[in-house]
Each structure stands twice: as C-alpha cells, then as structure tokens.
Amino acid sequence: MDGMTLELREEDLPPDPIALAQRWFADAQVAGIEQADAMTLATATRDGRPSARAVLLKGVDARGFAFFTNYESRKGRELDANPYAALVLLWVPLQRQLRAMGRVQRLSGEESDAYFATRPRGSQLGAWASEQSRPLPDRSELEQRWAALDERYGGATVPRPPHWGGFRVEPDEVEVWQGRANRLHDRFAYVRTPDGGWTHERLAP
C-alpha cells in the first residue's frame, strides 16, 4: 500500500466514477489483495425477491462492470426477468468499498467468445458440464459429464456454450467509501444525469 493515500478528498474525485473504479481496482491488484476481482452481485425476481452471490469482475470500462455466467442459472434467469442489479466490491486491506447499481445488458456474442477462449480448457468443459443452479443427484454425475466432454472434444477447440456468456452492469448510481479513523469515513455518491454525465455529493458515513 506504499504510495496509496487512504483518504478521499472531494477535490481529488474524477468527474466519472468509472475512472475511480478502474483506479481502485488497479490499486487492489497492485496491493496483492487476494481475489481483488471478487464482487457481490445482487439480482431480483420480477416481483422483487432479492438474491446475492459472489462473482468475479472480468472488466470495467466506460460501459460498466462485466462478469460471465450460465444464462440459465438463477442469476441469469433473474436478470432476464428483471434486468437491474447491484454490485459491491470490497477491498478490506485498503478500507475501500464501491457499490454500483443500474441496468444490465448481455454482452455481444463476440465479447463472450473472446473471453471464453481465454479460460482454461477444464473450465471451458465445466461450462458445458454444469447445468448451473439446477438440482444435481450426486457429484459423480457432474464428473461423468465432464469426462464425456473431455473425450468428445479431445484436442479440439472447445466452443462457447450458447447458454453461457457475459453481462454488463451499466450503472446509473455509484457509491464509493474510503475508511478513515474514528469511523469518520469518506463517502461519496455519484448519480448519472439525463445527458449521460455525472453529479456527486458527499454522504455522512
């Protein structure tokens, strides 16, 4: 954490919270934080019943926060029915938290193909073998599916399953939190404006 300032002054805030998210994510990686890309993702059913789980952040750019999953999983089905989500990134050693909320869109097939091609072969086969979130009688059935797929593809390239790919949370609200002494933390909320820009204000911790 050498060289990192563990305070967040308003005059140092970038006008766009995505720039701050990118900087903080890079700081967490430089600091050697284990699973710096782990984030909590909250979704909800059409009638508003929430669920949350940890997923891995696989990209953050001007468009938002990207992750990948089985589209037929619980989160995939909930996002299709109710395309809004919230996420939390927490980097405890840096006393930093980032929250983002907004609409969710599927990534293009090309983007999902490109990421799938970078996954280890075993994980690629796992995406085919696992009917994510569905009941599984026993582990041996899952392992047998994986082994059959391993034999089927042999040394050939494993294609991306049509039921597997990426989503992007396109935030319209972002909140950042920097821990300070005596629980007098620095906390700011960004809100997207109608013209696509952002406003921000300090919140009490």
Q: Where are the beta strands (DSSP E) in the chain?
A: 38-44, 50-56, 59-61, 64-70, 84-91, 96-106, 164-178, 186-192, 198-202
Strands 96-106 and 164-178: antiparallel
Structure tokens at 26: 């890079």
DSSP assignment of 112-138: HHHHHTTS-HHHHHHHHH--TTS--S-
Which residue of the set 180, 183, 187, 202 is catalytic? 183
Distance (Å, rounded) from C-alpha 136 to C-alpha 49?
24
- The rounded distance, in Å, linking the Cα atoms of 205 and 200 is 15
Active site residue 183: yes
Say how many C-beta atoms besides its own lie within 10 A of residue 190's C-beta. 23
Question: Any idea which residues carry the catalytic annotation?
Answer: 183
